[in-house]
Amino acid sequence: MVVETETGRDESEAAAATASAMDDGPCGESEGGGDAAAKAVGAKDAGEGDEPKEEEEDGRDREEEEEEAAKRGWSEIRLAIEELSAVDVERRGGKPPPPLPPPPTLTFLALSHLLLQVLDKIGPTMAVLRLDVQRNIERLQELYLLDPSKYYNLEEILEKEVDEGTARKVDSCARAILWLTRSMDFTIALLQRLEEDSDQKCFAQLVESAYMVTLKPWHGWISSAAYKIAMKLIPDRKMFINLLVGKCQDCAALKEEIRKLAKLLKPFLDDIHAMMAKFRLDRLKST
């Protein structure tokens, strides 16, 4: 009986040991198996955690694409407002801290390109002015691209040419900045007259008025003669307004945008004129 009992006990212990070994897995790797399972669960959780991030990035990409698509329908005036608004916040911060940083070159170039598009809408009348604007943009852009970190603002470019004694030359970047600024003076003067005119004057009269106060004082007889010929090809008022209005806009919205643009652009141009005066380059004339 005793023998049978001990044998039974031994068999029970052996069976328990076998069951324990089976639970532990082969080679007794119970803890390793538990770690692997935990890692698998962790990996799954990590994978699930990445999904919201990917969805968030996709959402941002879609928003950027939609914003770009919307901007393609904007008028040149609204694009200029967008460009200047960012610079105004950066330079002024909503208040007038003295002194203001010099006007950034890239913003100036972007506005100059928008100016070209407005001149294109006026038509072949502005062909001579447009060609000058195009050449000035290319000259300034070429220098900027030589060293963007050095020529990031217009004052650096002026200082370079003043130090070299080339600022007053016909093909200088200083002259390019000056004439691009004057061309923008003309453009904003024309747009303001268009917005403020309640007498519905013909477009040629508005162009003439803007020209007389912005470009005429600096034009020599050759440039003035070219302008007089160009005036004969001025489009009518309605056609020009229709060309200016962007998609999903009306005349009321256009007038509001012109007011916003004038408020942002005039201080920007005034800063450039003051900078040119500091270097005594503000009185240069054309032939």
HEC string of the chain?
A: CHHHHHHHHHHHHHHHHHHHHHHHCHHHCHHHHHHHHHHHHHHHHHHHHHHHHHHHHHHHHHHHHHHHHHHCCCCHHHHHHHHHHHHHHHHHCCCCCCCCCCCEHHHHHHHHHHHHHHHHHHCHHHHHHHHHHHHHHHHHHHHHHHCCCCCCEHHHHHHHHHHHCCCCCCCCHHHHHHHHHHHHHHHHHHHHHHHHCCCCCCHHHHHHHHHHHHCHHHCCHHHHHHHHHHHHHCCCHHHHHHHHCCCCCCHHHHHHHHHHHHHHHHHHHHHHHHHHHHCCCCCCCCC
> Per-residue pLDDT for 1 more than 80?
no
pLDDT score for 271: 95
pLDDT score for 201: 83
Return the minimum-mean-pLDDT range out of 94-98, 177-181, 198-202, 278-282: 94-98
Beta bridge partners, 153, equal 104
The predicted model gives 155-171 an average pLDDT of 96
pLDDT single digits (tens) 104-147: 999 999 999 998 888 888 777 677 788 889 999 999 999 999 99
pLDDT single digits (tens) 222-243: 888 888 887 777 888 888 888 8
For the chain, give the mean pLDDT. Answer: 78
pLDDT single digits (tens) 170-201: 999 999 999 999 999 999 999 999 998 876 78
Domains of the chain with CATH codes? 70-279 (1.10.3520.10)
